[in-house]
Structure 1
């Protein structure tokens, strides 16, 4: 499903955060939004997911977001925010099963197909041993994988990932991103993500969008956006950008 964002503006508590952002994510494409702290990356993702009020237009597969009922929207778009609310006492299996809510009738129960989908995601994310554990007993990295599992169990065609690997060690970072990329290719997922790690962003995304002060400062293939000049201007940092096998490698350099 293609995502179109046109003239997106968001204000929080009366303070403008996004100032007319335009971007497109083609069906099956992976686009990652980068930018310094406070640029508006998370706000952009939450607005596209329908979690924040905005002006402008967001369309999913040609349908305006505001015209979609909540259940219909949840079948199209799954969002992983940075700090989801963790219900006290809830087991991992039950939390991931919440991702199937759009397919369960009101006052109904999950089907065998719902349970199969959940167990498949738990297996893919190496979470089966934690199925009966309470969420609050898990480490930050383990919880992050559970949050992603719930989104994947939702079966949506558009996946919004806000810093999906921020709490993971380097091994699980790679595992999670490789899994998302494989599911994207196998199932035609459309992925819109935010990331702080510029090298990782460039390795996995088809295109990058550099956000600065709530506006799009640059957009295009990773090699066109991850340049020493652009990064110095918007991040106020000295870096070396080295060509890599899957994208530019960004290395900080001391002044």
Structure 2
């Protein structure tokens, strides 16, 4: 039996003296798309950072059967790629050079990028409709355009596990759909595993195989979107007035004014 792509057991993370994750268990099968949802402050981004090796705490995190602490940084970068909410934008860097950073794990120390590395960066920019921006300075792009460049760098990395922290937060609805459809297409074509966080519950339910609802640093519910996106669960944990409507690809969550 193949090891899961991600296994988290009893993970606890404290930041600034405040417990953020209080014993989280999570398993993501290879090739699966799991999206973590939950109210602000639930620990969603912290969980992704721990899975990506950027945070540590008591508990266990394994990637494809290997404890994350056993992976050297370079080897880890060949396995997992992360799109953070607000990555640092290097001053003066072009869109192409930023995407090319995704190939760093494959470039020998003191070496230069190969023709294959250059081709990989060009290909992913074209797939994200960013080819015309290749020589533009990254800082001159709109928020939505920069978000697609951040995704391009992660995809150019060629990792088998993709961590997406609010990947559509800066995108209009058209580009939200384009980016998520592309991620899903690449997942099916290349066997990628996707672990994401999202605020938009309807979009989360349409694309994920499973949802994990975090609340107060713990898993409050997990399962197919139909089991997690219920009016009772969402009202309890989000303290919101909503209606859940069946959709073609998953439940649609509609906010409604209190009566």
TM-score interval, normalised by the smaller of the two chains: over 0.9
2:226 matched to which residue of 1?
223
Q: Distance in 2 between matches of 1:184 and 1:70?
A: 24
1:147-166 matched pairs, under 5 angstroms: 147-166=150-169
| 3-state SS, counterpart of residue 146 of structure 2 | helix
Alignment match of 2:146 (pick from 139, 143, 147): 143
Structure 1 stretches (4+) deviating beyond 3 angstroms?
Answer: none
Q: TM (normalized to structure 1)? A: 0.99
2:202 counterpart of 1:203? no
Alignment match of 1:191 (pick from 173, 176, 194): 194
1:40 matched to which residue of 2?
43
2:25 counterpart of 1:9? no
1:21 matched to which residue of 2?
24
> What is the count of residue pairs matched by the alignment?
255
**Can you list the C-alpha shifts for 1:203-229, whole angstroms capped at 9, x where unaligned?**
000000000000000000000000000
2:116 matched to which residue of 1?
113
Q: Distance in 2 between matches of 1:162 and 1:156?
A: 16
**Can you list the C-alpha shifts for 1:8-67, whole angstroms capped at 9, x where unaligned?**
111111211000100100000000000000000001001110111222111111000000
Q: Distance in 2 between matches of 1:138 and 1:16?
A: 37
1:118-133 matched pairs, under 5 angstroms: 118-133=121-136
The gaps in structure 2 that reach 5 residues or longer are none
| 3-state SS, counterpart of residue 111 of structure 2 | coil
1:90 matched to which residue of 2?
93
2:56 matched to which residue of 1?
53
Alignment match of 1:134 (pick from 118, 133, 137): 137
2:80 matched to which residue of 1?
77
What RMSD over aligned residues (CA atoms) do the two structures have, in Å? 0.6
| 3-state SS, counterpart of residue 167 of structure 1 | coil
